[in-house]
Chains A and B, each alone.
Chain A
């Protein structure tokens, strides 16, 4: 091929490219393309978009390995969040999607049907990162993978779920009875707010609730208010609690805190004093610390007489304590002034010490039982006679 021939081919190709480019720009600029959600894509566009999405999710989630997801409390936690955060768009058994949502385009997946087409790792990736141009948001607290896995645990169980089972998991066993209109009106928004709390936290009728979430009864109002504010302004990160706390106005926030602070007699669960070596090890750390490792006794702050903004830990769920201490060790709870104190101490604890402490605190029955008098002290054991030489 001679040089002038090559040159003219190059010129022709460039002219075509430029013309196509300018044409495309003109088409976009003209507004002739219809972005209406009321009009379906061409089949080929639909296929292409779907293909891009599926391949992207598959590739991006390639290296994610799922933790154990069979813990019933994990499923319940995921379910309770699903009911508030996901079901409005994705629906649930016996909880059909709102007609408005059905007019979204692309339409949110009907998850009871669609979830099994993804692996747990892929579901995790989607729930954590969201999907561009679909209305699917990313997880609020990007550093709380543990919470995202709870949602995945629930999604795995979702397809086989009956309506009743869904209600039990998502709304809780102790749903407020459907009371008369008058009563409901008197309670006003408070009942609605508390029903959100009760999806996970304990109530009078179900004192054990979910072991992964804290028992709130017996905490001070100051501590509960502070925690809700820290969630609301993002100082404490949680994809589950942040959205709920951010929605509360000041009056409702105070009301919710007061509700739990005032109920003191429920939550007494460990009636028989469980003793084990593990609990005894935990008790020693809680009462005396490990001075040579710089670990102060937990009860110096987390007991009855301390400042109101320190949480009480007696009777608290072990799984929750373990989860929070792990967050501290990962540096995820140091943005509040209270959290900064614990952030200095938590990294000094070993995994075993964390487990021991959690077991100890769970074994201690909550002490606030205002109506009962404290039991009389056990009679002192008879002294062994002092042996003399």
Chain B
């Protein structure tokens, strides 16, 4: 008996901890940081609490009908009560909720914060191509990470290069599908600075679960500084090792698929690596961003993310691999 209680207690603690962690986490719709996610969270709480109250009311009335005093039971069986509780109440409640939902979903078009900025995100196999345009109209390509200014509406143009993906950054907004041959636009706005995580929310093939991203909300001036830096070509290799890595990168055909602006590498098939070392993660939020992870990915990417389009590069010796990794990590 004691043992069972302890076990139940433990399980209870674990489950409670999971819930709390999920609420606090970088990918929780219950801890919103954007106005759209706040509305989603508000809708969730209204629905959940409303449903709970109605459930309690119905259970109470059921109990009363079964075990209550004779006079109460007779009152409950009147035609008026049946009509009120069985028809009028559900129709008004559901209509009100529907109206609330309509109002919530249509608010998105008129929002404060001035002119919106546009970011194009393309769902790939299995990563996110992210394309910014700065005020001069220059196209700035990045991958697997969105940086957005706080307090300004951001229009994210969602397309797909292959199959249906779904863009979902739970702390900022609801999810929206990325459909081949079609452009969907998701507008969101961050209320405070911070990092949150997003995820592909539509099964898109074997490594679907490894297709995630980070969203970094920055204060407006910091965002502008960052975007200006992102638009720059890659920095020159800072060390002899990185220089060796750069030479290997060029000679081994990496530039056929990857672009590093400012070098001959101009491939358009894989992620743009111009500032890859400055991102929060590698391989679409699958690996940490450090030299060891670069080395693992280059050599062993088919085990990390099976079926991804990059060939495994086993041609490098250990020192060559270290040099290439060092070079890529230096691209901040």
Contact = CB atoms under 8 A, between A and B. Distances in A.
Interface of A: 289, 291-292, 294-297, 300-301, 305-307, 309-310, 337-338, 340-345
Contact of B309 (A294, A300, A305, A343): A294
A340 B256 contact: no
Nearest to A297: B256
B296 to A, nearest CB: 16
A301 B315 contact: no
Contacts of B314: 337, 340
A286 B256 CA distance: 11
Nearest to B309: A294
Contacts of A345: 311
A296 B269 contact: yes
Contacts of A296: 253, 256-257, 267, 269
Q: Identify the 9 closest CB pairs spanning chains A and B, nearest first.
A: A300-B256, A337-B314, A296-B256, A301-B253, A344-B311, A341-B311, A300-B253, A291-B268, A307-B251
B269 A300 contact: no
Contact of A341 (B248, B269, B312): B312
B227 interface: no
B315 to A, nearest CB: 5
28 contacts: A289-B269, A291-B268, A291-B269, A292-B161, A294-B309, A295-B269, A296-B253, A300-B255, A301-B252, A301-B253, A301-B256, A305-B251, A306-B253, A307-B248, A307-B251, A307-B252, A337-B314, A337-B315, A338-B315, A340-B312, A340-B314, A341-B253, A341-B312, A341-B313, A344-B309, A344-B311, A344-B312, A345-B311
Nearest to A306: B251
Contacts of B268: 291
A343 B310 CA distance: 11
Contacts of B253: 296, 300-301, 306-307, 310, 341
B302 to A, nearest CB: 8
Where chain B touches its partner, the secondary structure class is: loop
Nearest to A303: B253
B283 to A, nearest CB: 16
A343 B311 CA distance: 8
Contact of A300 (B161, B267, B315): B267
Contacts of B161: 292
Contacts of A310: 253
A196 B268 CA distance: 44
Interface string B288-332: 000000000000000000000111111100000000000000000
Which of B250, B257, B310 neighbours the largest number of chain A CB atoms within 10 Å of its CB? Answer: B257
Nearest to B124: A294
Contacts of A294: 269, 309
A341 B256 contact: no
Contacts of B269: 289, 291, 294-296
A110 to B, nearest CB: 48
B315 A307 contact: yes
B252 A340 contact: no
Nearest to A299: B256
A263 B161 CA distance: 46
B207 to A, nearest CB: 15
A310 B310 CA distance: 17
A345 B161 CA distance: 18
Contacts of B313: 337, 341
Contacts of B251: 305-307
A341 B311 CA distance: 5
A297 B253 CA distance: 9
A306 B267 CA distance: 15
Interface string B115-132: 000000000000000000
Contacts of B267: 289, 291, 296, 300
B315 A309 contact: yes
B206 to A, nearest CB: 15
Contacts of A289: 256, 267, 269
A310 B267 CA distance: 19
